[in-house]
Structure 1
Amino acid sequence: MVSSSHETMHHFFRKETAMMVRNFQRLFHVPFPEARDIAVLDTDLTEIDPVERRVDTLMRVDTDEGNFLFAYEAQGKKDEKKPASWAYYVAHLYAKYQLQPVLFVLTQSRATARWAAQPIRLGLSEFPTAVVRPLVLGPDNVPLITDEKQAMEDPSLAVFSAIVHARGKRCADILDMLARVLDTIDPDSAAMFAQFVESGLASKQARDIWRNLMATKNYFFRNPVAEGLREEGREEGREEGREEGRIEDRAEMTLRILEWRGIPVPDDVRERVMACTDGDQLTVWAERAVHVSEAQGLFTG
């Protein structure tokens, strides 16, 4: 089954291909001209016979120096069948569109990134007929953006950075910073970016942190993901006692954030948090849990 994080990795570039073009030289150290036009293309590469082949996302990027195809593949782990598929995609796209194809592989895994970056050589080892070299975006070359000012300069890159680095130790700090940045941009863009982050985080702990950070954001609750969360919350409330269940969940969330960040939770802290019945107070503690250095920091402003 295709995961939401897999889908987000390439769907994000369907919305934000302009960001990729802007950051092409910075991320890959490869020159690329400024785009005049960008268009979404059909991703189906199926032949009349017999095998269906489909890239994750396909874009046409027109520039003053030529027109290109951007093929995006989100890759969660090593797959020995993929290099053959990627070589096929590149050859078929060139034959079908007569445009230069550029293959991107997007991953949240360092090991997968190293594997995917290996050239695919076809033919003789010393004189290959073709060489396919995917451009791989992963934790090693996507900048780890933790500075708020830098994130404000390019919010879309900051969003992608947060998704790619969501498995790292600084995930909570990154998401906390990104939540503050989204408060500074227009609500429609903030809602879109918030939804991408919600869908793209592969870790449940990271999604829990993000949902907590978004709990009071009006723009977040305008998007379809949040609507589903609200309905889910309403259903849980009806089944478990509405407000009491939500308060207990918020208390447990606060403790889970601390534990996931590797911060020890003494018994007295756990008891105080679980005994609290003030929803507003628990919201404050949950927000502090994202960045405190010790569990007792929950209780000091």
Structure 2
Amino acid sequence: MVTSAHEAMHRIFQEDPGIFARAFRPLGVPFPEPVAATVLTPDVTENRPLERRIDTLLLLETGAEGPDGKLLLAVESQGRRDPAKPSSWAYYSAYLRAKYGLDVVLLVVCQDRATAHWAEGPFFLGTTHWPLLTLRPLVLGPHNVPLLTDPEAIERDIPLATFSAITHRGGPCPDEILKMLFSAHMTLDEETSHLFVEITERGLGDSPAADIWRNLMALDLDFFTSDTSMRLREEGREEGREEGREEGREEGREEGRALEAAEVLLRLLDVRGLEVSAQARERIRSCEDLGVLHGWLERVIEVSSVEELLVESAGSARTEGVAEPDEAGRVGASGGGAGVPGPRLGGAVEVPR
């Protein structure tokens, strides 16, 4: 379990070691993408009372021939300047080289620019007249980690987007970035999503961005196991049972799915702070077309008002050759075709089919 921003900053490399190579690619440092990674014990204690422990230690295998085929990646999460750290980092590097006989890369990850610039060094160990060692850690921080703002890029690489978000937690536009990251999470399986949700929450620490993230997570992917969700599903099943025919059961299930999607949409609007009139609320709840509801769910993160959401939906329907929704929110295609196809976000919400 991730318990702090400090841990989130290095733990994410355990979950997706490839972030290391992908983060440095835009910086012109061409580390090969690892094809395998093993989490090693971070304990570098000797048989002495002094305990030394690296935050995260990974054995990366790149698949390349020769000495570049394997390397050790030591990840240190640094929250402030610490004059004692360079000596510890030099010790870690020398100890790991001696113990494993492999090249060592020391990566320091920071969440503020001042600490990141300090951590880049170089640090000289030895006397003024004769430096014995020069230590130059690789550093990732707000000064060089790209701030991902493209929804497609975020969805394509959620681990890297998560690292970008927690690295820039005190920077500009956290609101919009976190909303896009939240939307992208809906494309993940539940286990993976919960892991990176936890890393994001811990990585944001006590920053204002953490409150934004918690508000987004309040509706959460857990809605579909909530009492409301289960009640709506049961209503659909019950109606189907009462009909006593297959079409009756299907109609009940369809209505339950539509009610479920409508409740998710209304909760998203509430979290975004958009005012929902009684008329708009009734229109959403009375909509029985899952294609229309999925379209609204796709756009709810982007619009600035409920009116814009519903108007855009009508415009989109006409663009696709589909009639404008009536007062009940039903959509029919010209020529009797299917309604608006469910978009990505709607599909990711996974209203049961």
Deviation at 1:206, TM superposition (A): 1.8
Distance 1:188 1:220, change over 3 A: farther
Which letter does structure 2 place at the counterpart of 1:58?
A: L
1-side partners of 2:224 and 2:18: how far apart?
26
Distance 1:51 1:71, change over 3 A: same
Q: Determine if contact 2:3/2:202 at 8 Å carries over to the other structure.
A: no
Deviation at 1:32, TM superposition (A): 2.0
Deviation at 1:61, TM superposition (A): 0.7
2-side partners of 1:176 and 1:84: how far apart?
41
Deviations along 1:177-201, one digit per CA (max 9) or x if unpaired, are 1111112233332222111111111
Which letter does structure 1 place at the counterpart of 2:81?
A: K
Matched, 1:191 2:194: yes
1-side partners of 2:210 and 2:100: how far apart?
39
Matched, 1:200 2:203: yes
Matched, 1:116 2:119: yes
Report SS of the residue matched to 2:221. Answer: coil
Deviations along 1:129-150, one digit per CA (max 9) or x if unpaired, are 2211111110011110111011
| Number of equivalent positions | 242
Output aligned runs, 1:64-213, within 5 Å: 64=64, 65-124=68-127, 128-213=131-216
Q: Determine if contact 2:21/2:30 at 8 Å carries over to the other structure.
A: no
Match of 1:284 in 2: 269
2-side partners of 1:220 and 1:169: how far apart?
30
Match of 1:21 in 2: 21
Match of 1:5 in 2: 5
Which letter does structure 2 place at the counterpart of 1:174?
A: I
Deviation at 1:213, TM superposition (A): 0.9
Q: Determine if contact 1:43/1:56 at 8 Å carries over to the other structure.
A: yes
Distance 1:87 1:193, change over 3 A: same
Match of 1:46 in 2: 45
Deviation at 1:89, TM superposition (A): 0.9
Report SS of the residue matched to 2:80. Answer: coil
1-side partners of 2:96 and 2:16: how far apart?
21
| Uncovered stretches (5+) of structure 2, i.e. residues with no partner | 226-264, 275-299, 309-353
Deviation at 1:60, TM superposition (A): 0.5
Q: Determine if contact 2:23/2:145 at 8 Å carries over to the other structure.
A: no
Report SS of the residue matched to 2:96. Answer: helix
Q: Determine if contact 1:69/1:102 at 8 Å carries over to the other structure.
A: yes
Deviation at 1:127, TM superposition (A): 5.4
| Uncovered stretches (5+) of structure 1, i.e. residues with no partner | 223-279
Percent identity, aligned pairs only, is 44
Deviation at 1:155, TM superposition (A): 1.4
2-side partners of 1:127 and 1:32: how far apart?
32
Q: Determine if contact 2:78/2:109 at 8 Å carries over to the other structure.
A: yes
1-side partners of 2:164 and 2:223: how far apart?
19
2-side partners of 1:299 and 1:168: how far apart?
29
Deviation at 1:4, TM superposition (A): 0.6
2-side partners of 1:131 and 1:39: how far apart?
28
Q: Determine if contact 2:17/2:34 at 8 Å carries over to the other structure.
A: no
Which letter does structure 2 place at the counterpart of 1:49?
A: R
Which letter does structure 2 place at the counterpart of 1:31?
A: P
Deviation at 1:105, TM superposition (A): 0.7
Deviation at 1:124, TM superposition (A): 4.9
2-side partners of 1:140 and 1:285: how far apart?
35
Report SS of the residue matched to 1:39. Answer: strand
Report SS of the residue matched to 1:90. Answer: helix
Q: Determine if contact 2:12/2:159 at 8 Å carries over to the other structure.
A: no
Deviation at 1:208, TM superposition (A): 1.7
Deviation at 1:85, TM superposition (A): 0.9
Q: Determine if contact 1:172/1:291 at 8 Å carries over to the other structure.
A: no
Q: Determine if contact 2:219/2:267 at 8 Å carries over to the other structure.
A: no
Q: Determine if contact 1:188/1:219 at 8 Å carries over to the other structure.
A: no
Report SS of the residue matched to 2:36. Answer: strand
Which letter does structure 1 place at the counterpart of 2:217?
A: M
Deviation at 1:36, TM superposition (A): 3.2
Which letter does structure 1 place at the counterpart of 2:220?
A: K
Report SS of the residue matched to 1:17. Answer: coil
1-side partners of 2:205 and 2:198: how far apart?
13
2-side partners of 1:30 and 1:93: how far apart?
22
Name which one, 1 or 2, has greater alpha-carbon Rg: 2
Deviation at 1:281, TM superposition (A): 6.8
2-side partners of 1:168 and 1:203: how far apart?
14
